[in-house]
Structure 1
Amino acid sequence: MVVVASPNSMIGEKILPIDLPMIDLSAERSMVMKRIVKACEEYGFFNVINHGVPYDIISKMEEVGFDFFAKPMEQKKLVALDKPFGYGCKNIGFNGDMGEVEYLLLNANVPSIPNDSSNFSSIVRAYTEAVKELACEILVLMAEGLGVPNTSIFTTFITQLDNDSILRFNHYPPKNSKDRDNSHSYNVAFGEHSDPQILTILRSNAVPGLQISLQHGVWNPVVPDPSAFCVNVGDLLQVMTNGRFVSVRHRAVTNSYKCRMSVAYFVAPPLDACIVAPSVMVTPNRPSLLFKPFTWEEYKKVTYSLRLGDTRIHLFRNCTQLE
């Protein structure tokens, strides 16, 4: 993952708004598969509508999330779970990275907090179960679109009880008052990074902040859509598709007068899962495996040992690959 040192817009950066592919999951199946594969190859990100997650589940989750972050700091700090889970503020990861963010990190298999008097745990559990079903549906569509004979090859990882998936609430403050006279300025709230897991299902309120980088030095702000989930490819999925899908770097900035809250479901396999592309991913265009096999535990250790923005996947590249 990558940290951006300066809090304000960087000299030489280009900011070019982008419209991510919008995919209607209720459309004809073969068309949906093709559009998902194309989006993963070209953008690494896409939006989905008609996703099947009930609106009341989403709205309740957002309500308890905002209620949690509105609590006094002393109360939020009491949510101290087994590391790395629990409440945090400013600190990102374990290596000194900082950001304009406070967060709540939960085990997606048991998304609960202690001393819960607001039904937070039951509401978030219902949300997580619904989003997990959505993730499984999308992963099956990806496998079918890629022509993988075993269409459950990706979903198997998250249907196992010991999967390592996590749920993360990020709460970003509005732009600082001293910056409000400059509509072109922003503060980097969560530095440049790629997601190390398989897939991310992201929900945010209708406040801009997400930016992706499809080419070096260019940042593309993503307009949020309250009716959609934003989906992005993680590092592991890039490996399992032998580089056909791209895990794109992204960041979050504060550039609004309103608070932004995002909720990310990170799809991760069990720690001992072997990450390798299936043989069908070796094609004339990719005549060898781009990455040597590794376990999620090995890759996770690398991820946690580096700062945001440091490259990681290249450490697992197959030295015998064709250039």
Structure 2
Amino acid sequence: MVVLSSTGSLDQLSLLRSVPPKPACFSGVPVVDLARPDAAVPLVKACQDLGIFRLTNHGIPTELMQRLEAEAAEFFSLSLVEKQTLGPPNPFGYGNKMIGANGDIGWLEYLLFAVDTSKPTCSFSSTFKEYLAAMRKLASKVLELMAEGLQIEPRDAISKLVMDEDSEGIFRFNYYPPCPLLQGFNYRLTGFGEHTDPQVISILRSNNSSGLQISLKDGSWVPALPDQESFFVNVGDSLQVLTNGRFRSVRHRVVANGMETRLSMIYFFGPALGEKIAPLPQLMREGEHSLYKEFTWEEYKKAAYRLRLGDNRLGLFEK
């Protein structure tokens, strides 16, 4: 375990010698084309098999995505003092290297927002608001397709949990800067350690730069390669519970090669704090028992954020 600190010393951050080999059985992250009338079928299969899919023909202009990326990159190019001043107030805002309060670290800087913040304080606020509105519409459509594919009613059985005015959304910019000390070496840095997302779903875009990796059922790691136009949609822990384990909360991580800049934008869709999380009754077959104890989103957040990134959070609530 080593880390490259801002002073150039080696300390606690993992260095990975090479990209993990791709298993012969893995052909890439499944693609869900929203323009297809049968999009619900591959969507459900991807959520069951991997817990992640690539979303295409989603209707969000590439120009909007690139505009927000450019404004975020401009923010991260500022001095440390400026970034700390211009970010939103704690517990959200600007940070670097430290991920949470339990000792997890990564080679990154980040900017974290509560989505219900009425007046984002960063210089890209107008673009930011436009992007958030587009993301909410997209998430609602995706979650309704999930309900369709699972053959449950009403159509908003899942989407209403994260579209309520009290629902909790989090938006995160992650910036992985170059590392001069790695120039000429075949190493990769741990950018964001392995974890699952606690929320229902998360929608991610990166600036066409590699680094995202997902864990298969056998524990092997494979790359999830980006492109200019699509999004990745991740199943979160809450959705795994809502489907009683039918959908898989995907374990993932980010490795930074130290040579190139990587910027990702992630919207995490969570329920209201008091919302009870339990398998949807519409999904439960006769005689089927819940795999999980019922809990509220607030209870799960408190439990999850006391743990390290890589810990099995759902294990606390399994029966």
- Determine whether 1:305 maps to 2:306: yes
1:15 positional shift:
3.1
| Counterparts of 2:148 and 2:219, CA distance in 1 | 34
Equivalent of residue 205 in structure 2, options 203, 207, 212 = 203
2:21 corresponding residue in structure 1: 15
Do 2:68 and 2:128's aligned partners in 1 also have CA atoms closer than 8 Å? Answer: yes
1:277 aligns with 2:283: no
Q: Deviations over 1:11-40 (max 9, x none)?
A: 9x9532751111110012xx2101000000
Cα separation, partners in 2 of 1:111 and 1:209, compared to 1, 3 Å: farther
- CA contact 1:208–1:256 (8 Å) conserved in 2: no
Normalising by structure 1, report the TM-score: 0.89
Q: Do structure 1's residue 105 and structure 2's residue 106 form an aligned pair?
A: no
Alignment of 1:160-199 (within 5 A): 160-174=164-178, 176-183=179-186, 185-199=187-201
* 1:159 pairs with 2:163: yes
Structure of higher RCO (CA pairs closer than 8 Å, 6+ residues apart): 1
- Code of the residue aligned with 1:223 in structure 2: it is L
The 2-side partners of 1:59 and 1:10 are apart by 31
Per the alignment, in what secondary structure is the counterpart of residue 86 of structure 2?
coil
Which residue among 80, 83, 93 is the counterpart of 1:76?
A: 83
Say which SS state the counterpart of residue 63 (structure 1) adopts.
helix
Unaligned runs of 5+ in 1: 319-323
The alignment partner of 2:282 has SS state of: helix
SS in 2 for 1:310: coil
Measured against aligned partners, the alpha-carbon deviations of 1:135-154 in whole angstroms (never above 9, x if no partner) come to 00000000110011112011
Identical positions, percent? 42
Alignment gaps of 5+ in structure 2: 1-11
Normalised by the length of structure 2, the TM-score is 0.90
**RMSD value, Cα:** 1.9
**CA–CA distance in 2 between the matches of 1:228 and 1:316?**
34
Give the structure 2 partner of residue 27 of structure 1.
36
Kindly tell me: are residues 223 and 65 of structure 1, through their superposed partners in 2, closer, same or farther at Cα, counting changes over 3 Å?
same
Distance 1:80 1:51, change over 3 A: closer
140, 145, 168: which one aligns with 1:141: 145
Residues 10 and 55 (structure 1), Cα distance of their counterparts in 2 relative to 1, 3 Å cut: closer
Return the letter of the residue paired with 2:182.
D
- 1:221, 1:14 → 2: CA distance? 8
Aligned residues: 305
Check whether the contact 2:189–2:258 (CA below 8 A) recurs between aligned residues: no
SS of residue matched to 2:39? helix
1:167 & 1:241 partners in 2: Cα distance?
24
Looking at structure 2, the residues matched to 195 and 290 of structure 1 have their Cα atoms a distance apart, in angstroms, of: 19
- How much does 1:44 deviate? 0.5
Q: Give, in whole Å, the separation in 2 of the partners of 1:220 and 1:283.
A: 34
